Amino acid sequence: METIEDEARPGRPFSVLNEGLIAKVRKRIQEERCVTVSMMADEFGVNRETIRQILVEDLGKRKVASRFVPHALSDDQRHERVQYAKDIIKMLVEIKIS
């Protein structure tokens, strides 16, 4: 009778988690902070959980909703944002005076 279970093999299980991969992930997130776990998994040929494990456990990163904060504003956007902030400050000062 044949079984469907694998035979026992000597040695440790294969792991793709190594210092080289950790260094690649560290370099990649320094180059582009908005890179996704899926993008890195595809790029390095490993699964997403391995990338997540490196980010959280080895590099001490955590998931943040960074999509709401633009990292690269155009000059017009930057000017608009500054003007808006000045308007808010002016309005708060006027409210405080009255």
Q: How does residue 28 score in pLDDT terms, banded at 50, 70 and 90?
A: very high
- Considering the entire predicted model, what is its pTM? 0.52
What pLDDT digit, counting tens, does each position of 60-83 carry? 887 766 544 445 778 898 899 999
In this structure, what DSSP letter does residue 9 have?
Answer: -
How far lies 22's CA from each of 2, 36, 64, in Å? 42, 15, 20
Q: Report residue 26 CA to chain centroid gap.
A: 10
Helix runs in the chain, H state only: 19-31, 37-44, 48-53, 75-97
Does 35 score more than 60 pLDDT? yes
Q: What is the pLDDT of residue 68?
A: 45
Confidence category of residue 27, pLDDT binned at 50, 70, 90: very high
